[in-house]
Structure 1
């Protein structure tokens, strides 16, 4: 099983306002690397106070950080050719598209899957499917609303879901989840 889990935190309601990005790389069903980047968003120095309340990232934290276009090529290389998984993937895919559009960058051909859909198929008896609740259910400790931690928790939950569904390869995931896999 090879995939990357992705998570964004944003500075404002704008999809292009990524202020932190986390990527967790899974190869052969093992987490091999998790990387986090603070990002100076286009809205800098403005951050919506509501967003700061959620993730705790402030303008001061990103004042010397690179912009999205300065890190994207490194991120794209890490993600190349793999399935992208995100918790509430429509949000993270929207932020990725928003950032790429803002900087006039090419959108890669990338398939993505929402780990909420995967969790609902795996544990259809749970009352809630938020990342925090699933992590608690599986006794996964992480710092919620920090991109690297969220991406790694998403990867761990996805691996557990694949195991529960007896999905052992990317081909089996594509076959089992074909209606849920979207294209960026």
Structure 2
């Protein structure tokens, strides 16, 4: 059966360690079982770049009493433990996770990750666009775009549909179907 976690970050600035929101959607046996979102006080606090606020709508006031990444990592890590991590534009989210772990001096776990864009391109070769919003619209999924929990959950739903289309039913088949697309954090 398919087991993975879809993950998404929103950031306060262009700095990769400036996560201001993290979302994880947990999939077990091919079903979404939990979605969790954390607002995070980034190291740049109280500074947020106006362009980032324009994208996600999260302001310094929203996170002034929020925990830091250091405070939430153990809970997040427990949700991710042993799972394949999938993210839409995974290079960005893996970079944010890597930078946050480095900033707070955490050991970097060995996490295999896959980009749902490459998965979608393999599953649906002729779509005009592969952005999360476009894929959601294509599959009649509505969501609150650019909020981490919602984006992570839509990433999970799109990934499940893509796996279904590719007739992938077990994690062991993902590597074979996706060849070199699975990377290590």
- Whether TM-score is above 0.5 comes out as yes
Report whether the alignment pairs 1:100 with 2:106. Answer: no
Query: Distance between the aligned counterparts of 2:181 and 2:169, measured in 1?
Result: 18
Query: Distance between the aligned counterparts of 1:174 and 1:155, measured in 2?
Result: 17
Aligned residue pairs, count: 184
Q: TM-score, normalised by structure 1?
A: 0.99
Q: Which residue of 2 aligns with 1:166?
A: 167
Query: Distance between the aligned counterparts of 1:168 and 1:11, measured in 2?
Result: 37
1:19-50 deviation line (CA, Å, top 9, x unaligned): 00000000000000000000000000000000
> Offset at 1:177?
1.1
1:91-130 deviation line (CA, Å, top 9, x unaligned): 0000000100111111000000000000000001001000
Q: Which residue of 2 aligns with 1:34?
A: 35
1:138-149 correspondence to structure 2 within 5 Å: 138-149=139-150
Q: TM-score, normalised by structure 2?
A: 0.99
Query: Distance between the aligned counterparts of 2:11 and 2:175, measured in 1?
Result: 30
Residue segments in structure 1 that go unaligned for 5+ positions in a row: none
> Offset at 1:174?
1.6
Residue segments in structure 2 that go unaligned for 5+ positions in a row: none
Q: Which residue of 1 aligns with 2:181?
A: 180
Query: Distance between the aligned counterparts of 1:103 and 1:166, measured in 2?
Result: 40
> Offset at 1:178?
2.8
Report whether the alignment pairs 1:86 with 2:104. Answer: no
